[in-house]
Amino acid sequence: MSKKILITGGAGFIAHHVIDKILSTTDWEVVTLDRLDFSGNLNRLNEVVSSYPKPERKRVRVIHHDLKAELNPEITATIGKVDYISHLAAGSHVDRSISYPLEFVMDNIVGTAHILDYARKLDGLERFAYFSTDEVFGPAPKGINYKENDRYNSTNPYSATKAGAEELVVAFENTYQLPCIITHTMNVFGERQNPEKYIPMVIKKVRDGGKVTVHANKDKTVAGSRHYIHAEDVAEALLFLYNYDITTIEPDDTGAKCQKFNIVGKNEIDNLQLAQFIADTQSKKLIYEMVDFHSQRPGHDLRYALDGSKMKKMGWEPQSAFDRLESTIDWTLKNDRWLSL
């Protein structure tokens, strides 16, 4: 019998790739809740879904709803019975969280509480997946890659609200036996990404001959670095986790009941190296400026890093970021309307 998955934030960047992967590899029905704002672009989802034959397109339904409000009986009736929930809806713009922290509390904590409260009342829910971020752990010193249950060290309101939401998820598993998992990932890129994000921004600036800003240490000698990962790899990892028997995983030494998983890119890439790769791929000269990230980007960290050994041991690994990046650059330049939204 076919499964049904409820995805929050389905018109968002990462979630629409998840829906694409579900349509191409499963027979599942998809229901998505989205408030269709700045980050939830329905054109993004429509472009993907419309590329499928009509029978596949009919497997996707979009319900307009802002999770700052509870799910009313009309919405829950429209959703119907679900087997899985992926909670990807979130405010994720770090700079905006610094300017409007209470907005992020409402979106990321209150919104998560509402979807959890809905989920705990369902019969037969197989798994609730909360999509979190590496930023809950804060900056990673050189040589340190954070494991799933390391301590939180939020450096901005965005990461603090994601950490708070993680604790709600854990509490709902402990209190209501809600079958939950939590994932951490970082610096996801791919097709149809918001043009303000680093990779599409660099693609556009290089194409147009503009100057690329690279955040660095105080001496402006070391560029910030990330483990970049393509959204399709993230989608594959989420489906891998849905099909994995979580009960076979031995608890770690923290004794935590709610399993957490780091979905990590294969390559750690510094942002100057990344910008140079984008320029080389376009056969363009890179014009750039290194800036002190402490003064130019408050609330941001020079290096983020996660340990992906748990997922690797389970049998999942991402593709090379460079292979994925080259195809993303090519696609974006051919579909450059996504650079001017």
Percent of the chain with pLDDT strictly greater than 90: 86
Name the 3-class secondary structure at 180.
strand
Whether the CB-CB separation of 166 and 110 falls below 8 Å is answered with: no
Residue type, 332: T
- Tokens encoding 113: 């509480």
Instruction: Read off the pLDDT of residues 151-174 as tens digits, 9 standing for 90 and up.
Output: 999 999 999 999 999 999 999 999
The helix (H) or strand (E) run that includes residue 315 is none
Q: Among this protein's residues, is 292 annotated catalytic?
A: no
Distance CA 199, CA 77 (A): 40
Number of other CB atoms surrounding residue 314 within 10 Å: 16
Beta bridge partners of 223: 216
Beta bridge partners of 290: 214
- Position 90 scores a pLDDT of 95
Nearest to 215 by CA among 295, 95, 96: 295
Maximal C-alpha separation, the chain: 59
Q: Among this protein's residues, is 134 annotated catalytic?
A: yes
* Confidence grade of residue 40 (pLDDT, cut at 50, 70, 90): confident
Among residues 29, 83, 107, 134, the one annotated as catalytic is 134
Whether the CB-CB separation of 119 and 128 falls below 8 Å is answered with: yes
Distance CA 185, CA 304 (A): 10
Burial readout 215-237 (b: 16 or more C-beta within 10 A, e: otherwise): bbeeeeeebbbbbbbbbbbbbbb
Among residues 135, 150, 173, 236, the one annotated as catalytic is 135
- Position 293 scores a pLDDT of 74
Q: Among this protein's residues, is 135 annotated catalytic?
A: yes
* Confidence grade of residue 206 (pLDDT, cut at 50, 70, 90): very high
Give the CATH number of domain 194-226+267-302+320-339; options: 2.30.40.10, 1.20.1260.10, 3.40.50.11810, 3.90.25.10. 3.90.25.10
Q: What is the CATH number of domain 4-188+227-263?
A: 3.40.50.720
Lookup result for tokens 């363009």: 284
pTM value is 0.95
Whether the CB-CB separation of 258 and 169 falls below 8 Å is answered with: yes
- Tokens encoding 115: 């979807």
Domain boundaries of the chain, sorted by first residue: 4-188+227-263, 194-226+267-302+320-339
Instruction: Read off the pLDDT of residues 285-312 as tens digits, 9 standing for 90 and up.
Output: 999 999 987 666 666 678 999 999 999 9
- Position 256 scores a pLDDT of 75
Among residues 84, 158, 228, 242, the one annotated as catalytic is 158
